[in-house]
Amino acid sequence: MLRDYMSKLPPEVLIELGRSEIAGVGVFAVKSIRKGRKIADGLGEKDFETLVPWGKWGEFDKTTQKKIWDFWIGTPEGFVPPENMDFNKLSIEWYFNHSCDGNVGFNRKGDFVAIRNIKKGEELTYDYGLAESNPRFSTRCNCGSSKCRKIITGNDWKEQAFRKSRISYMLPRLRRIPNCVRASVGAIPVRELQF
């Protein structure tokens, strides 16, 4: 029945890929999105059970390594792989660029939600520090926000000031870590990593 089908569609969220001023391709709101609205599935605890350990890194070719580094969420132990290890399975939300003042975050289930009202045509961005905990991850930021941190790292989530202002939008597993002491191993600039 058409009516059953219609009732399963998200009524408000419509997003699309477009050219971003931040970096390459980004995701844009086709219609305005209200604060609090779920935008897409994110990462649940179950997804972290499938972590690929960094020890397997050398088994991927350089191009795939670069893609993993750019798109898949890392932890100190490994990265969360795509379903069935299919690296072509990148749904639209995985093209969200980073902003140090992003308009998207995570809810308690780990889904992507709007953290403020988003206007039609606005780019959707989230702070990668809300999700990324690989201590070796680091990249220069081009978000253009007045709050820009200039360098984004996989250690940002541990910073007390970061946690204080953003804890309610962090991935649930990162909210639970009580000790905010920075890791003794510093982040390695991404250009120093061999792809």
Ligand X SMILES: C[S@@+](CC[C@H](N)C(=O)[O-])C[C@H]1O[C@@H](n2cnc3c(N)ncnc32)[C@H](O)[C@@H]1O
Contact letters for ligand X, residues 6-45 (x by CB under 6 A): --------------x-xxxxx-------------------
Work out whether 169 is an interface residue with ligand X (CB under 6 A). no
Q: Measuring CA to CA, how many Å separate 189 from each of 22, 145, 177?
A: 19, 21, 25
Work out whether 71 is an interface residue with ligand X (CB under 6 A). yes
Work out whether 130 is an interface residue with Zn ion (CB under 5 A). no
- The residue type of 27 is V
Q: Is 20 exposed, middle or buried (0-12, 13-18, 19+ CB in 10 A)?
A: middle
Which helix (H) or strand (E) covers residue 123, if one does?
A: strand 123-126
Give the integer Cα–Cα distance in Å for 157 and 133: 7
Q: Which window, 35-43, 56-64, 136-144, 164-172, contacts ligand X (CB under 6 A)?
A: 136-144
Work out whether 68 is an interface residue with ligand X (CB under 6 A). no
Q: Which window, 1-9, 82-90, 136-144, 184-192, contacts Zn ion (CB under 5 A)?
A: 136-144
Question: How many alpha carbons fall within 13 Å on the CB side of residue 33?
Answer: 27
- Supply the minimum distance, in Å, between the C-beta of residue 122 and Zn ion: 16
Q: Which of residues 94-123 bind ligand X (CB under 6 A)?
A: 94-95, 97-99
Give the residue nearest to ligand X (CB): 24
Q: Measuring CA to CA, how many Å separate 147 from each of 80, 107, 127, 150, 164?
A: 29, 23, 11, 9, 15
Q: By the criterion CB under 6 A, which residues form the site for ligand X?
A: 20, 22-26, 70-71, 94-95, 97-99, 139, 141-143
